[in-house]
Amino acid sequence: MAKHAVYLWTLPMFHCNGWCFPWTLSAIVGTHVCLRQVRAEPIWAALAEEGVTHLCGAPIVMSLMLSASDTAKRALPRPVRFFTAAAPPPEKVLAEMREAGFEVTHLYGLTETYGPAVVNDWHEAWSFLPPAEQARLNARQGVRYLPLEGLDVRDPETMLPVPRDGETIGEVMFRGNVVMKGYFRNPAATEAAFRGGWFHSGDLAVVHPDGYIQIKDRSKDVIISGGENISSIEIEEVLYRHESVSVAAVVAMPHATWGETPCAFVELVEGKAADGDSLRRWCRDHLAHYKVPGHFVFGTIPRTSTGKIQKFVLRDQMRALEGATEQVDA
C-alpha cells in the first residue's frame, strides 16, 4: 500500500486484528474510513465521496455491493483494491467486481494462521487473458506469504504431498512461526491439529502444476451421496452463475437411499425471481445428475459478523426440513 492510502473498514477490526490493517494504515499515514454497518449504500457512498483506495471483506461483501440498486451504485474515480478472504469467492463474483472497477486480490488463511497467510499472487501475463479465464485463475487460493515457512497439500493419513496435478485432493497444511502455538487449555485438540508436525486446516484442496493451491471444500462440508464425494463449493459455484442468485450455500441432507444429498440455501437478487424447479434445471445443465440439490430453501442466509456463512445454522434448519416436500420456500 502506498503512503496516504484511504481504507474503508468493512472487515471488523476485532477479527484477527483486522488483518493488521489498523497498524498498517497508521504506519503509512493513511486514512481510516469507518462504517456503523456493512450495507451497500454507505459502502458505495464512501467509495465515491471519500476517495477510498483499499478495502477488505469476505466474498459476501462483494455480493452485497454488486446486488445494490443502480441508484445506490456510484462511478469510481479510480480502480479500488479489494482484498477478499474467509471463503472461496465465486468466479462470477470476481468477474463482476472487475467489470465494476475493482482489482480483487484473493487471500486465504485461518484465525490459527493469524488471518490470511496465502495469496493469489497475480501474474502480469494473466492480465491479457479473457475475463472468464482471469476469474478462474483468481478463484484459486495461491501461494504462501513470505513470513509463512511452509504451505502444502498433503494426504492426512500418510502425510505425503499430493501430486501437483490439479486433481488429487489432500488437506491444506501450514507450518511456521505465524501459526498458532495451540488451542487455549485444550491440549488434545492441539495435538490433533498438529499431527505429523503440520497444522491441519481441515480444508480439502488440490495443487496445480504452477504450485498454486485451490480449495475444493471443507472436510466437514463434503457431501457423500451413494459413495460419491460431492463438493459443496462446486454446487455453490454453479448456483452463483445463475442471474437470479445473490448468495448460495450448500449442506448435506440425510437421505434414506443415498445416505446424503445436497440441500441448497439461496438468497435471490432483489427484483429477480427463481424457484426450486428452475434452479434444479440450471444445475442439471451444469452438474452431474447426482450432484443436483434435492431441496432448495429460499430466504436470508445467516452470517457471522465477519461475513462468513454459518453452515452449522443451516444444518440445524435443514434437519427441521427432513421429510418435507422437495422444494421449500423459507
> pLDDT tens digits, residue range 93-107?
999 999 999 999 999
Report the chain's mean pLDDT, rounded to a whole number: 91
Distance in angstroms (rounded) separating the CA atoms of residues 287 and 193: 34
Hey, do 150-216 and 222-329 end up sharing a CATH topology, with the first three levels equal? no
Distance in angstroms (rounded) separating the CA atoms of residues 73 and 47: 10
pLDDT on residue 58: 86
pLDDT digits (tens, 9 = 90+) for 204-224: 999 999 999 999 988 888 898
Judged against a pLDDT cut of 90, whether residue 200 lies above it is answered with: yes
Distance in angstroms (rounded) separating the CA atoms of residues 62 and 69: 14
pLDDT on residue 326: 43
Q: Which residues contact 214 (CB under 8 A, 6 or more apart)?
A: 139, 140, 141, 166, 205, 206, 207, 208
Distance in angstroms (rounded) separating the CA atoms of residues 158 and 117: 24
Give how far the C-alpha of residue 145 lies from the chain's centroid of Cα atoms, to the nearest Å. 18
Judged against a pLDDT cut of 80, whether residue 161 lies above it is answered with: yes
Q: How far apart are the first and last CA of the chain?
A: 44
Q: Is the four-CA dihedral 21, 10, 316, 240 of positive or negative sign?
A: negative
Exposure letters 199-221 (e unless 16+ CB within 10 A, then b): bbbbbbbbbeeeebbbbbbbeeb
Class of the CATH domain delimited by 6-139: alpha beta
pLDDT on residue 329: 42
pLDDT digits (tens, 9 = 90+) for 68-81: 999 999 989 889 99
pLDDT digits (tens, 9 = 90+) for 306-323: 778 898 899 888 777 664
pLDDT digits (tens, 9 = 90+) for 6-34: 999 999 888 888 988 999 999 999 999 99
For the chain, domain boundaries: 6-139, 150-216, 222-329
Percent of the chain's residues with pLDDT above 90: 72
What is the value of pTM for the model shown? 0.80
Q: How many residues does the chain have?
A: 330
pLDDT on residue 325: 41
Task: Select 222-329's CATH number: 3.40.50.720, 3.30.450.40, 3.30.300.30, 3.30.565.10.
Answer: 3.30.300.30
Q: Which fold has domain 150-216?
A: Luciferase; domain 3 (2.30.38)
Residue 113's φ and ψ, nearest 5 degrees, are -110, 25
Give the model's confidence band at 327: pLDDT under 50 very low, under 70 low, under 90 confident, else very high: very low
Is residue 33 within 8 Å of 14, Cβ to Cβ?
no
Distance in angstroms (rounded) separating the CA atoms of residues 19 and 11: 9
